[in-house]
């Protein structure tokens, strides 16, 4: 398995634009997590899905953020409209049962 795959690796966009981050979890994993990492706040859990169903989205900063998981092999995190303070590295991770969480390489988002 190629591991958790995220795209794009880097995204630079202008303030106000819509940004969509994509994640393909490891096949067979039933939990998927979206995290945001900044120097100031470290890793923050945004939302996690279990069997494609959002379980806890209390970490989503505000209504500009939304996440979907239409099937077991794909998830998106959307920011609309984006703001400079959204600049961070966004990680996706997946886990099967009680195994460790495997992380993708992250998407570095810069909003100018």
Partner 1 sequence: KNQVEQSPQSLIILEGKNCTLQCNYTVSPFSNLRWYKQDTGRGPVSLTIMTFSENTKSNGRYTATLDADTKQSSLHITASQLSDSASYICVVTFNNDMRFGAGTRLTVKP
**What residues make contact with partner 1 under the rule CB under 8 A?**
4, 31, 33, 35, 41-45, 48, 50, 55-56, 91, 93, 98, 100-101, 103-106
Closest separation in Å from C-beta 72 to partner 1: 17
Closest separation in Å from C-beta 56 to partner 1: 7
Closest separation in Å from C-beta 82 to partner 1: 22
What is the side-by-side strand order in the sheet with 19-24? 5-7, 19-24, 74-79, 65-71
Contact 24, 72 (CB under 8 A): no
Q: Name the residue nearer to partner 1 (CB basis): 5 or 81.
A: 5
């Amino acid at each position: 398995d190629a591991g958790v795959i995220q795209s794009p690796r880097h995204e630079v966009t202008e303030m106000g634009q819509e940004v969509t981050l994509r994640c393909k979890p490891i096949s067979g994993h039933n939990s998927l997590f979206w995290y945001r990492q900044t120097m100031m706040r470290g890793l923050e859990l945004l939302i996690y899905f279990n069997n494609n169903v959002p379980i806890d989205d209390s970490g989503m900063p505000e209504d500009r953020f939304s996440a979907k998981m239409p099937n077991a092999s794909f998830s998106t995190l959307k920011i609309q409209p984006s703001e400079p303070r959204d600049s961070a590295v966004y990680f996706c991770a997946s886990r099967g049962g009680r195994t460790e969480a495997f992380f993708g390489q992250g998407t570095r988002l810069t909003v100018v």
